[in-house]
Structure 1
Amino acid sequence: MEITKTTGDLSPQKIAQKTVYPILLMICFSHLLNDLMQSVIPSVYPLIKDKYNFSFSQIGIITFTYQITASLLQPLIGFYTDRKPQPYSLPLAMIFTMGGIIALSFADNFYFFLGAVALIGLGSSIFHPESSRVAYLASGGRKGLAQSIFQLGGHAGTAIGPLLAALIVIPFGQFSLIYFCIAACIGMLILSRIGKWYEEHLQFRKKYSSDNSQAHVEGISKNRVMISMAILLILLFSKYIYMASMTSYFTFYLIDKFNISVEYSQYYLFAFLASVAVGTMIGGPVGDFIGRKYVIWISILGVAPFTWLLPHMNLEWTVIFAILIGLILSSAFSAIMLYATDLVPGKIGTIAGLFYGLMFGIAGIGSAALGWIADRTSIEYVFTICSYLPFIGIIAIFLPNIRNPQSESSRK
């Protein structure tokens, strides 16, 4: 099948200049399915904690195992695929994730759970670098929009996971997790089609990459680039430690402080994660228009007043503040990663693998550490200390302003 048939009769030259929405929507939906299955892990924590008498520390170690498995391999896979792209590695990622879901449905002890989540982490480590490259190639230069569409799928899947857990897993038990394999089978079919488009597109990749690589950091020294990358990593730390507190422990916080049921806690977690999905869609296009630095600044530091006040609110205001936090904070990752690709052009897979890997690694270490703290203090104390993390966002002021010629032209 020729490229022109899979992209709405566009010629090769036009493909380089126009956003290929069918491919973006397909990779968005694939990301939704991938992250939906991954979000099952924290969604069933209250169930398995009671069933197997796990401590908060063990819950944190389960998250740590999943996140570290994903984080260690992603930079290596991204570095390798920058040199040798692997279009058909995408459906392979779904196979590993499906294997982890099957194992999770049968797991009956702590170490079995660790092996199951490690398989899911391996699937994630393969999926994200190459799928990010697909979004980049299909962007037509509108990188922020493309990354937001791609991220929207992931966050929507992460939000739907707890909802499905509340409707399926909580009422029918652990074995019902196996029904999520349907999502993996659908994902494999879609990603096989995307892989074919990607393979056909590779013959144009070097030409388009060389065009895009001209639009970067003129006048910024290598030392300044390295300092800027370090600032981005610190900002990732503040964002994903806080996100780890919400995704892994928000349900426990609500149950412990407000004495609500497990089912209702899942609905409130869904509300938070849904707001993250909505906010993600806003951040990319805004970054294309006003600049990624300002989106980073607003999304991390701007959320600080809400995180600081959240531990002092009643149930209704806690949920409202959680939704506002999700909306504001969610745009940061796309802006940070694209800002990094502007600093180091031509390394899409490496940057995507590094930043996704760090995202999972930071969240995993943070979740384990927060679980350890919760066992020795309380869940409320965890949310109190995490409330100060977004104030780290003030260091974004030291990031240089980077002009993106593609975004400049998109305004005209």
Structure 2
Amino acid sequence: MPVLLAISLVHMLNDSMQAVVPALYPILEDSLDLSLMQVGWIGFMLNMTSSVMQPVVGAYSDRRSMPIMLPIGMGLSMIGMIGIAFAPQFWFLLIAVVFIGLGSAIFHPEGSRVVYFAAGGKRGFAQSVYQVGGNAGSSLAPLMTAFIFVPLGQFGAIWGTLFAGFAIAVLLGLLPWYRRKLAEWETERSRAAAGKAGSTLVEKMSHPRVKFAMAMLVFLVFARSWYHAAISSFYQFFLKDHYGLTTQQAQIPVFLFLAAGVLGTYFGGVLADKLGLKNMIVFSIAGAAPIALVLPHLPLFWIYPVITVLGFVVLSGFSVSVVYAQFLMPANVGMASGLTTGLAFGMGAIGAVALGKAADVYGLYDVMLACSFLPLVGLFALWLPSDRKK
């Protein structure tokens, strides 16, 4: 548990640095005179570098893990924070965002492996504790906008260097434990590869049903990422345009969505250990569909409770998706984590650009209305093979 709490804390600090970028959207839109499409490109660069690189890092670390890369990744994020604070124009801002993305891409696969070693028999619970940290960090974006970036402006991003420094200190303390567990795991894997267990594992991973399930899982996380990008990145602009809220007032519903997602992440992992991984994935995406469909049509008063419930349901399957991928690919924990929290979210980053461009062309209201249908894709989760014994 101390290891889980420590790596969850680092996850929170890492995702808090990532949250600085969307938190600055309203400020950067004014200070650098950005269009909504440029705002989408910022999100695209952040998510593509932090996400698409994750399976690459995960695949490499499955063969040759390097624990020292954890603090090195945080160092790259620190450089990115400094770059954002002093970026004079759009292109300098993109370069700084790339550093933050690369730091995050290095951290996540190795962080998931630490959780895998510390989980014992409760993988859903352990992954939920880890992901709660990350989602808690992401949920800070609206608060940072209201209390840091509105008063301080773009330079307020320099506070993110404190997050990076603290995270590096915690990771240096975890390295001896991680190296010891990694050596034990490598020994066990070598023994399994030399016998029947190793061949059985390879056969399971190459089975067509496993490949289909993994492809379907990535597709589902991809659709959820598009919807999450619509709420976390553009819903604040929708509230300002459609309901006449100020920048600070528009942060409250977004914060409620993200904060409720923290609770959903935790309870989703706990329930998955009892109810099954597939069942929670179906509930988290398809179960959010009716709530998402009514959200754009609600009066302002009802938005606050409804978006809170929506955030809880949508993110209740966040950590479960990672555990399900590890269930499918037990010999490639890093790659499985990278594909679910990495590549799928990177593909979802394309949604940030597409949504920004569509909002510039067709209007924000029509785009948010169209996005409300995305959770219906969750019905495809019914095709996933069950992880429970019949």
- After TM superposition, is the score higher than 0.5? yes
Among 153, 156, 160, the alignment partner of 1:180 is 160
Aligned ranges for residues 8-47 of structure 1 at < 5 Å? 21-47=1-27
Query: Is 2:347 aligned against 1:385?
Result: no
CA contact (8 A) 2:224 2:285 kept: yes
What is the CA-CA distance between 1:132 and the residue it aligns to? 0.5
What is the CA-CA distance between 1:116 and the residue it aligns to? 0.9
**Structure 2 length-normalised TM:** 0.94
Summarize deviations over 1:191-224 as a string: whole Å, max 9, x none. Answer: 111122101222211356688x899899998111
Query: Is 2:377 aligned against 1:397?
Result: no
Query: Is 2:269 aligned against 1:284?
Result: yes
Aligned ranges for residues 176-325 of structure 1 at < 5 Å? 176-206=156-186, 222-325=207-310
What is the CA-CA distance between 1:318 and the residue it aligns to? 1.8
Aligned ranges for residues 126-205 of structure 1 at < 5 Å? 126-205=106-185
Q: What is the DSSP-based 3-state SS (H/G/I as helix, E as strand, rest coil) of the residue aligned with 1:173?
A: helix
* Number of aligned residues: 384
- Give the whole-Å Cα distance in 2 for the aligned partners of 1:190 and 1:258: 43
Q: What is the DSSP-based 3-state SS (H/G/I as helix, E as strand, rest coil) of the residue aligned with 1:33?
A: helix
Q: What is the DSSP-based 3-state SS (H/G/I as helix, E as strand, rest coil) of the residue aligned with 1:66?
A: helix
What is the CA-CA distance between 1:43 and the residue it aligns to? 0.8
Summarize deviations over 1:269-310 as a string: whole Å, max 9, x none. Answer: 211110111100011111111110000111110000000000
Gap regions ≥5 residues in structure 1: 1-20
Gap regions ≥5 residues in structure 2: none
Q: Residues 239 and 282 (structure 1 numbering): CA distance in 2 closer, same or farther, change over 3 Å?
A: same
Match of 1:16 in 2: none
Deviates more, 1:201-210 or 1:303-312: 201-210
- Give the whole-Å Cα distance in 1 for the aligned partners of 2:129 and 2:154: 32
CA contact (8 A) 2:23 2:141 kept: yes
Among 67, 72, 79, the alignment partner of 1:87 is 67
Match of 2:356 in 1: 371
- Give the whole-Å Cα distance in 2 for the aligned partners of 1:221 and 1:35: 33
Identity %: 40
CA contact (8 A) 1:299 1:330 kept: yes
Q: Residues 392 and 341 (structure 1 numbering): CA distance in 2 closer, same or farther, change over 3 Å?
A: same
Among 75, 78, 83, the alignment partner of 2:58 is 78
What is the CA-CA distance between 1:72 and the residue it aligns to? 2.7
Q: What is the DSSP-based 3-state SS (H/G/I as helix, E as strand, rest coil) of the residue aligned with 2:140?
A: helix
- Give the whole-Å Cα distance in 2 for the aligned partners of 1:197 and 1:344: 24
- Give the whole-Å Cα distance in 1 for the aligned partners of 2:145 and 2:164: 16
**Structure 1 length-normalised TM:** 0.89
- Give the whole-Å Cα distance in 2 for the aligned partners of 1:208 and 1:325: 42
- Give the whole-Å Cα distance in 2 for the aligned partners of 1:237 and 1:336: 11
What is the CA-CA distance between 1:159 and the residue it aligns to? 0.8
CA contact (8 A) 1:303 1:390 kept: yes
What is the CA-CA distance between 1:316 and the residue it aligns to? 2.0
- Give the whole-Å Cα distance in 2 for the aligned partners of 1:359 and 1:220: 19
CA contact (8 A) 1:65 1:118 kept: yes
What is the CA-CA distance between 1:165 and the residue it aligns to? 2.7
Letter aligned with residue 57 of structure 1? M
CA contact (8 A) 1:216 1:343 kept: no
